[in-house]
């Protein structure tokens, strides 16, 4: 390849392929102010996308665990981390003080994979077909997968703190905490009782704790 | 759990999880006036969504069967029932007077499952691989499934009225009625003839019935 | 078209298209004895498929509601109705005696659409984003949709019996009943307590009712 | 990088990454004799896959157009070309003698894109929403797309031969020829008549041509 | 069917089905000026869609091959051919002068199927699992499939020109040319060297050819 | 609820729901010895599945970084961790000694999300549309997402070791290392040269390092 051809080559190659692909959708960084559809947020103008749209700092700090569950969940879902919009993936971190717990919950829109980085965890899920419980004590470095939509929990079973990260195969898997769904809203106590077989006193107690009414 | 902690607990738990999930996309009720994309309609503002968006009354009444096919189809697709937008599901009801028929048709975008509630039905579909016909007389309570995209029909083969509901795995499966596609538009008669091997007289007759031109 | 050409035409047309499409996969009726994969059951040999594979009689009869929930759910999922395998759809019927209830549950793998055929129903679901309750009294003919993976319930709020059908956008949506997941297995009481904040006495009572141990 | 390190490097790099990925599923060439599932055929043993599994010669030759439609369709679907199994794509060629036609048909499982290589074509499809006809005369080099599941046709409107290729977004899109579905099987004439509004004489005539019975 | 009923029939049938399906989404022609989402462009108003939205003339002409690679790729992706938006399919043509090559590249979002129309081609791809090369000399009429995301190339190995068309199972599969990704941007030379093990001189040479900086 | 009813209740509730759901597919743990299909491995018999199928210990230990890239990648894909089969998710860990690098590579089948746990990383990817480089120095706790199919790299830019985990939205995303694809096989040098524009000497040098032939 002769040097004298370099400029010619540069121009022709550039013209050859570049112009056609202006809208190739390698990614669709969320424009949180635009219209939202079933597949996610509208895309930010590609010309304004920078590397900072693909980097998120919000999981670096430990969450505040001085609360009733002695635990904190911090998420990097599409509404916090617009870069994952449309990419079918997201991440979250969980910090658990001694005795801390992520109570029974589901993710309506995704499977979860967990990697334990610190401490000891008792984690489990329940199958829908046979109500079979799959639970186990996890140690540092252990990985566990929780199939989509099934009830699961994680409990710090060690003496120190526990830290883990979870990945999801959705930019927005959702998180439905059982106690919140049942007791932290205005669903009438008698309806909760009828639909759960829990005692009224139990329901009222937890509604009281969580601020539910009715 | 001491009562004195209740207020503290209420605040910390609320702060802990609530703020992060404002945009979790549990659903995407159609905003019929917003832009539409390949995955469906834009989402209605979540703050304005009420239970009425998820409830539809339009299938309660029997359709008017005083027409040529002695039948009526009433749909609860996304454009009528915005709550199903993005959820991959919809419903329709069919009423057939004695002698009524839902003529050969396809749903380009979905599989159909039928439950017969009243009457007797002769229903069938044709496979594409071997042009094999799968048809059967259904009685009250029978269920039949029609695989996606295949030509099928339902015919009231009893003496009384027939009523059935059909579910689809799409919020908008489409409905392409064979007679309408061939005869209820301006496709020139000679083209219809060439592409169907039907006689010109037959085509003109049905174009006349259905209001087709050309 | 001359009659004398008919036989020739018949042969050439048949040869032209038929041979190539022997394996076109219009459907994949489940072979319940074959290997199962992530997408469903293996397909029954296409040559042995008949219309009876696509018709199911199991939803015609009312379920037995003489039980604690005064209700019965009868399903037409792939393991009962092999014809829906691979077609992304299924159906179930629910019968509720007066006072009957389908307690809080989720379907991990699908959205549900309900059509009420008899009686009066109080039905609702809880969103994951804001723990908002969407519930409403439904009358005959009303349709309601329950987005995938969210906790929901249906309760006979009338004086007579209630009957409804539900469609799913999966041949096997699963059904996770909250009470069964929590109390009908060997998950130790202290773990249930820690992961739900329910009182130990409440848990033991319901474990007793449902046959759970631990 | 010193030459003396080459051998060491070779070994360590090989060990580092290779062993873990023995089953990475870059492709799943169809084992036509193995069990079939909703997602396609079983995969051929990866160790026996060669480049010849990804190359197909069957579209090179012109099809025989000495038949009633004066046309031939030759497919490279998964059952003919096992390399496309699981890859969501396939191809077919069509040859049309003067006056030849690919009559009205649908592909239940895929969208079609056409490129005309020789001759002049009149091609069109009908929308399901409004029975609107979209048809046009295509010339050499023109491309046309036919949305999934909609009735469409292609007709040689020139004086010479026509040749085109079509791509599909499925390894097995299926092909349901309208005339075959209606007239080339044992669906009773009175049922065809009831479900199409065609005259009995017309039906019997085409059943005769195509070898249908009943 | 009596003639006197024709008008009545026309009206009732029209009313029966037509009104409900105004928004059936048979297609979603791209509105290139509207908001874009993860599933593609917004849909053009259905009332303004014509057959010309589904026909593309841009692949009819041979591309200009007087450039360094002696080849030209012309695409019919969604941004050039709005009719394919949302339909999961697209097409491109490639012209190669003698000695021409489409250098190593990937399509991040789709599988490719190739049909060779003129000339002789040496085409191949590399598996990710075992770095196995699958390459072969193709002749006129041969078809080859390139599984999604794998590095592949096509090289004119004959004496004359080569022409082929490629189909994709995405309206926008993307095209990442290896040389462009490495050398036609501002990624610092030392980073390219570290991440490729190529010599600095080699990198600088190709950056010079392609106009890369840093 | 009277105690005397407990046994009755237990039986009726159990009978009511349990029998129907024996095959509900909450998960499909890979049977590595069974047939594989496009959607993944066959499912292990559900009765033999235990919690150990959902837990993986293989990412706990640091990989061996005494190699040319001073880095190690350890994967928890379906072939190592059968529990993720069919669940659309997987995980891997990467250890980088000072100066270590994960060279340019792609994942043909999935998007990657990274969380940096130790050290300092320079990570980046190249868009296909404009060959734009998105790279950035990441610190402990930073998250970065790499869209599906695009070339990317990670380089230890700090003085100490670096450790990160990556999640994928596929149980088997694949890993195509650029250098391995080009130089660690038997693709003839002249073909590599023609398809990359690299100098023959450069190719031979790297083939030598990686054990490629031809």
Q: How many CA atoms lie within 13 A of E154 on its CB side?
A: 31
Query: Chain D contact for C21, CB < 8 A?
Result: yes
Same domain, residue pair C126 and C199: no
The verdict on a CB contact (< 8 Å) between A38 and B85 is yes
Phi-psi region of F10 (alpha: psi -120 to 50; beta: other; left: phi over 0): alpha
pLDDT digits (tens, 9 = 90+) for E157-190: 999 999 999 999 999 999 999 999 999 999 999 9
Neighbours of chain E (3+ CB pairs under 8 A): A, B, D, F
Least confident of C9-23, C41-55, D38-52, D197-211: C9-23
Same domain, residue pair D127 and D82: yes
Within-domain flag for D120: yes
Residues of chain A positioned with their CB less than 8 A from the CB of F45: none
- Among the partner-chain residues A1, A60, A113, the one whose CB lies closest to the CB of F89 is A113
Length of chain C as a residue count: 214
Distance CA F185, CA F196 (A): 15
pLDDT digits (tens, 9 = 90+) for A161-199: 999 999 999 999 999 999 999 999 999 999 999 999 999
Within-domain flag for B116: yes
- Number of separate helices (H) and strands (E) present in chain E: 4, 13
Backbone angles phi, psi at F114, to 5 degrees: -115, 140
Displacement of CA C90 from its chain's centroid (Å): 6
Displacement of CA F45 from its chain's centroid (Å): 25
Residue position matching structure tokens 């496709």: B187
Same domain, residue pair E79 and E162: yes
Query: Chain F contact for C43, CB < 8 A?
Result: no
Same domain, residue pair E89 and E185: no
What pLDDT does A214 receive? Answer: 85
Report the SS3 class of residue F35: strand
Mean pLDDT of F187-200: 97
Domain harbouring E142, CATH code: 2.60.120.10
Q: Roughly what angle, to the nearest 10 degrees, separates helices D189-196 and D200-210? A: 120
Residues of chain F positioned with their CB less than 8 A from the CB of A109: none
Query: Chain F contact for D43, CB < 8 A?
Result: yes
Same domain, residue pair D124 and D206: no
Within-domain flag for F6: no
Within-domain flag for B29: no
* A129 min Cα distance to partner chain E (Å): 33
What pLDDT does B20 receive? Answer: 33
Within-domain flag for B146: yes
- Among the partner-chain residues D1, D15, D43, the one whose CB lies closest to the CB of F209 is D1
Of chain A, the end-to-end C-alpha distance in Å amounts to 80
Is a pLDDT exceeding 70 seen at residue D8?
no
pLDDT digits (tens, 9 = 90+) for B5-52: 333 344 344 334 433 333 338 999 999 999 999 999 999 999 999 999
Same domain, residue pair C146 and C202: no
Q: How many CA atoms lie within 13 A of D89 on its CB side?
A: 32
Query: Chain C contact for A73, CB < 8 A?
Result: no
pLDDT digits (tens, 9 = 90+) for D124-172: 999 998 999 999 999 999 999 999 999 999 999 999 999 999 999 999 9
Residue in B closest to C141 by C-alpha: B60
Q: Indicate the average pLDDT of chain E.
A: 90
pLDDT digits (tens, 9 = 90+) for C123-132: 999 999 899 9
Which of B 172-211 lie inside 8 A of A, CB atoms?
none
The verdict on a CB contact (< 8 Å) between D37 and C86 is yes
Within-domain flag for A48: no
Query: Chain E contact for A9, CB < 8 A?
Result: yes
Mean pLDDT of C198-211: 97
E118 with E160: CB under 8 angstroms?
yes
Distance CA F195, CA F178 (A): 13
Residue in E closest to B72 by C-alpha: E16
Instruction: List, in sequence order, every residue forming a beta bridge with C183; answer none if it has no partner.
Output: none
- Which of F25, F36, F97, F187 to probe by mutation at the D interface, max D CB count within 10 Å? F36
Mean pLDDT of F65-84: 96
Residues of chain A positioned with their CB less than 8 A from the CB of E177: 17
Where does the pLDDT of residue F25 fall: very low under 50, low under 70, confident under 90, or very high at 90 and above?
Answer: confident
- Among the partner-chain residues A24, A46, A54, the one whose CB lies closest to the CB of F145 is A54
Touch A-D: 3+ C-beta pairs under 8 A: no
Write out the two tokens for D73. Answer: 């369709």
The verdict on a CB contact (< 8 Å) between D10 and F210 is yes
Same domain, residue pair E198 and E100: no
Where does the pLDDT of residue E13 fall: very low under 50, low under 70, confident under 90, or very high at 90 and above?
Answer: very low
* C109 min Cα distance to partner chain D (Å): 17
E173 with E113: CB under 8 angstroms?
no
Q: D57 labelled as ligand-binding?
A: no
Within-domain flag for C73: yes
Give the annotated binding-site residues of A for Mn(2+): 105, 107, 112, 152
Mean pLDDT of C172-201: 97
- Alpha helix positions (H), chain C: 6-17, 178-183, 189-196, 200-210
Neighbours of chain F (3+ CB pairs under 8 A): A, C, D, E
Q: Roughly what angle, to the nearest 10 degrees, separates helices E200-210 and A6-17? A: 70
Least confident of A124-138, D10-24, E143-157, F128-142: D10-24
The verdict on a CB contact (< 8 Å) between E40 and A26 is no
Same domain, residue pair B163 and B185: no
Query: Chain E contact for B134, CB < 8 A?
Result: no
pLDDT digits (tens, 9 = 90+) for F165-182: 999 999 999 999 999 999
The verdict on a CB contact (< 8 Å) between F129 and A22 is yes
Is a pLDDT exceeding 70 seen at residue B4?
no
Distance CA F143, CA D202 (A): 68
Query: Chain F contact for A52, CB < 8 A?
Result: yes
Distance CA E13, CA A44 (A): 46
Is a pLDDT exceeding 90 seen at residue B202?
yes
Same domain, residue pair A70 and A142: yes
Residues of chain D positioned with their CB less than 8 A from the CB of F38: 28, 39-41, 43, 85-86
Same domain, residue pair F193 and F91: no
Number of compact structural domains in chain C:
2
Report the SS3 class of residue B199: coil
- Which of F5, F14, F23, F26 to probe by mutation at the A interface, max A CB count within 10 Å? F26
Is a pLDDT exceeding 60 seen at residue B1?
no
- Among the partner-chain residues E37, E72, E174, the one whose CB lies closest to the CB of A24 is E174
- Which of B28, B33, B36, B168 to probe by mutation at the E interface, max E CB count within 10 Å? B36
Q: B57 labelled as ligand-binding?
A: no
- Among the partner-chain residues B61, B89, B129, the one whose CB lies closest to the CB of C145 is B89
* F88 min Cα distance to partner chain A (Å): 6
Same domain, residue pair D68 and D147: yes
Domain containing residue B121: 53-173
The verdict on a CB contact (< 8 Å) between E91 and D167 is yes
Write out the two tokens for A39. Answer: 């597949």
What pLDDT does A10 receive? Answer: 40
pLDDT digits (tens, 9 = 90+) for B89-102: 999 999 999 999 99
Least confident of A64-78, D14-28, D92-106, F72-86: D14-28
Q: Indicate the average pLDDT of chain D.
A: 90
Neighbours of chain A (3+ CB pairs under 8 A): B, C, E, F
Same domain, residue pair D146 and D201: no
Within-domain flag for B130: yes
The verdict on a CB contact (< 8 Å) between A21 and E177 is no
The verdict on a CB contact (< 8 Å) between F17 and C209 is no
What pLDDT does D20 receive? Answer: 33
Residue in A closest to C154 by C-alpha: A195
The verdict on a CB contact (< 8 Å) between A198 and C202 is yes
A64 with A72: CB under 8 angstroms?
yes
Residues of chain A positioned with their CB less than 8 A from the CB of B5: 68
Complex ipTM, two decimals?
A: 0.90
- Which of C13, C14, C33 to probe by mutation at the D interface, max D CB count within 10 Å? C13
Mean pLDDT of A25-50: 94
What pLDDT does F12 receive? Answer: 40
The verdict on a CB contact (< 8 Å) between F39 and C39 is yes
Write out the two tokens for E131. Answer: 């770095």
Distance CA F143, CA A56 (A): 5
- Alpha helix positions (H), chain F: 6-17, 178-183, 189-196, 200-210
What pLDDT does D144 receive? Answer: 98
Neighbours of chain C (3+ CB pairs under 8 A): A, B, D, F
Tell me the percentage of chain D whose pLDDT exceeds 90.
Answer: 86
Residues of chain C positioned with their CB less than 8 A from the CB of F6: 208-209
């Amino acid at each position: 390849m002769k040097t004298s051809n370099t400029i010619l080559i540069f121009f022709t190659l550039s013209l050859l392929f570049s112009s056609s692909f202006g809208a190739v959708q390698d990614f669709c960084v969320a424009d949180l102010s635009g219209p939202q559809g079933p597949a996610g947020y509208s895309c930010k103008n590609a010309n304004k996308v920078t590397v900072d749209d693909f980097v998120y700092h919000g999981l670096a700090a430990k969450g505040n665990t001085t609360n009733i569950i002695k635990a904190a969940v911090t998420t990097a879902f599409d509404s916090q981390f617009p870069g994952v919009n449309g990419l079918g993936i997201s991440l979250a971190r969980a910090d658990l003080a001694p005795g801390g717990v992520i109570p029974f919950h589901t993710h309506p829109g995704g499977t979860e994979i967990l990697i334990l980085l610190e401490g000891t965890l008792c984690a489990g899920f329940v199958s829908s077909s046979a109500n079979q419980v799959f639970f186990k004590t996890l140690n540092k470095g252990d990985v566990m997968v929780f199939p989509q939509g099934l009830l699961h929990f994680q409990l710090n079973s060690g003496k120190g703190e526990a830290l883990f990260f979870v990945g999801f195969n959705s930019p927005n898997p959702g998180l439905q905490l059982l106690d919140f769904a049942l007791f932290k809203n205005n669903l009438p106590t008698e309806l909760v009782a009828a639909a759960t077989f829990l005692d009224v006193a139990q329901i009222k107690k937890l509604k009281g704790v969580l601020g539910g009414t009715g």
